[in-house]
Amino acid sequence: MGFLGVDTSLTGRRWVGPGDEIERQAEAMAQQTGLPRPLCLTLARRGVAPDEARAFLEPQLRDLLPDPRRLRDMETAAARFLTAVKGRQRIAIFADYDVDGGSSAALLIWWLRALGQQATLYVPDRIDEGYGPNEPAMAALAANHDLIVCVDCGTLSHDAIAAAQGADVVILDHHLGGETLPEALAVVNPNRQDETGDLAHLCAASVVFLMLVEANRQMRSDGAQGPDLMGLLDLVALATVADVAPLLGVNRALVRQGLRVMARRERPGLVALADVARMDSAPRAHHLGFLLGPRVNAGGRIGAADLGARLLACADPHEALAMAERLDQLNTERREIEAQVRDAALAQAEARGLDAPLVWAAGEGWHPGVVGIVASRLKETTNRPAIVIGFDGDEGKGSGRSVSGVDLGASIQRLAAEGLLIKGGGHKMAAGLTVARGQLEPAMARLAELLAKQGAGELGPTDLRLDGVLMPGAATPELIDQLEAAGPFGAGAPAPRHAFPDMAIRFAKRVGTGHLKLSFGDSTGPVMDAICFGAFDGPLGPALEGHGGARFHLAGRVEINEWGGRRTAQLRLEDAAPAT
């Protein structure tokens, strides 16, 4: 039976609460540490032992940051980078057009700027050039530079790297490597096949950061002082969250510290971006993933490919504001294009069937800049890996998103090796591909077969996992602050959700474009406010607005609502079920 007896909620989900073992661990932790029981339940579900709780709540980067030299080619990469710096050689940075690529490039540019040096930034156009290094661009850069640093790309670009005659190439990447590596001077990538995989969860910006840690170390050994690195962690945090890297271990510490750096509002590009996105509170991982990240990405999706990277590297506040406003405008245009493709892709996928191991759709002229977002929407709707492909002539470019436990990148790479794709690659949760029109059906059939072997076809409707029960009087700002200390929350570390049992709806009103604002309480205690975004896109809004005095179990995430200088507790409502 579901938690609180909820086997089928208003949104069709079964509620799953903490098991007996988690309850026991939480109780032991509360007695041993004196921490609030709701926080102990959250920590126990994270696998935190009672004697580790205090350290987990205050992760120290110095304890968790891996030695950069654990990665192959790292010493060579840093040494060649420093040789270029010391000799004032010409450096080019070839970056991917997404947030991770832009942040990676900006890290290098800010580090070099601190030493009074510059680099050429090159970001390929998504439509004209596609993902990763290409032969004409690399040849042109090599003709005018001594060192080319490829960030967030390059591991599979054998021909393009070979075209960089006359320049050294260093690759700092995290995408899945092939059986052979390109002929670069150094390929630093935790997802090379000859790596242990212990650092496979790092995004490219983290790999770049580790290279700068190694560069500073080598500078110190030569009696020189390198630029400050801690102040660059806002860029690493943005990339980690936006690239959906799991917020575990060192990633959690990097994002935690990066959010503190970002709160100081010292990076002109991020300040401008936060202002145009109307961020009115201290930055959290949610802001990085849903407000800042999409705007940085918008340039690479439908506008100037290098705009996001240039904004993140910008040192002038006025110039940064102009770029941020342009990205905000492009993001609005991107949403409109996305909505059109999403509706068409969902209709096609539904006609094909949503219960297969793979959900996919392909269409004429679908913009390459939005197929990844639409694939993400399909994945969220179906709880299955999803591929969305846009065709232009006989060639289609697509993007895929996966679910936990299903390695999409490896399967896509296998399809490319088998000749069913023109090219393809990525990592566990996301991948890109190029396919010939005549190979579309056999490629998708083969991909579904490979994903089924990983259990993709066995996935059912998404259960709603809850950390326990709260009452309105217990959900104080102080408790919410303590729960936040278990974060940041995101991929691999979902925010705690709580159920409020047997609640009476005191007030309910439709607000904005289909949202629901309400207040609720039990018979005697305090009343608590809640907001349910998109409530009227499904059954929640009508059922709760027209409650007719019925009582409900309510579920969601507690958060702080800051308004008029006051901090109050609020429930971000995600689900509800009649209290019977």
Domain membership of residue 451 (yes or no) is yes
Alpha helices in 231-316 (DSSP H): 233-242, 249-263, 268-276, 285-287, 293-302, 307-313
309 and 205, same domain (yes or no): yes
Gyration radius of the chain over CA positions: 24
Domain membership of residue 70 (yes or no) is yes
Number of domains in the chain: 4
165 and 91, same domain (yes or no): yes
178 and 271, same domain (yes or no): yes
Domain membership of residue 336 (yes or no) is no
Q: Which DSSP state fits 60?
A: -
Domain boundary (293, 327, 361) is at: 327
Say how far apart CA 210 and CA 478 lie, in whole Å: 36
Low-confidence stretches of the chain (pLDDT < 50) are: none
Residue 227 backbone dihedrals phi, psi, to 5 degrees: -60, 160
Alpha helices in 46-203 (DSSP H): 53-57, 61-64, 74-86, 99-114, 135-144, 158-162
Domain boundary (441, 458, 475) is at: 458
380 and 492, same domain (yes or no): no
Residue type, position 250, single letter: V
Domain membership of residue 94 (yes or no) is yes
Containing 403, the helix (H) or strand (E) segment is none
Residue in the structure block whose two tokens are 């030299």: 69
Q: How many other C-beta atoms can be found within 10 angstroms of the C-beta atom of residue 484?
A: 18
Residue type, position 575, single letter: D
Domain membership of residue 332 (yes or no) is no
> Do 552 and 503 touch, CB atoms closer than 8 A?
yes
CA 176 from centre of chain = 17
Q: CA 165, 168, 174: angle at the middle one, nearest 5?
A: 115
559 and 418, same domain (yes or no): no
Q: Which domain holds residue 36?
A: 18-56
**CATH number of the structural domain spanning residue 426:** 3.10.310.30
What is the tens place of the pLDDT at every residue in 78-94?
999 999 999 999 999 99
CA 329 from centre of chain = 22
Coil, strand or helix at 543? helix
Residue in the structure block whose two tokens are 């009227």: 536
41 and 154, same domain (yes or no): no
Domain membership of residue 347 (yes or no) is no
Say how many CA atoms lie within 13 Å of 413 toward its Cβ.
19
35 and 80, same domain (yes or no): no
Residue type, position 4, single letter: L
- Strands 91-95, 168-172: pairing kind: unpaired
Coil, strand or helix at 552? strand
> Do 296 and 324 touch, CB atoms closer than 8 A?
no
Say how far apart CA 320 and CA 282 lie, in whole Å: 20
What is the tens place of the pLDDT at every residue in 276-322?
999 988 899 999 999 999 999 999 888 789 999 999 999 999 999 99
132 and 201, same domain (yes or no): yes
Residue type, position 486, single letter: A
Q: Which DSSP state fits 456?
A: G
161 and 286, same domain (yes or no): yes
80 and 43, same domain (yes or no): no
Q: Which pTM value belongs to this model?
A: 0.89
Domain membership of residue 335 (yes or no) is no
Domain boundary (458, 484, 502) is at: 458
Residue in the structure block whose two tokens are 């540019």: 109
Residue type, position 291, single letter: L
Domain membership of residue 315 (yes or no) is yes
Task: Name the region of 285 (left: φ>0; alpha: ψ -120 to 50; beta: rest).
Answer: alpha
374 and 318, same domain (yes or no): no
89 and 168, same domain (yes or no): yes
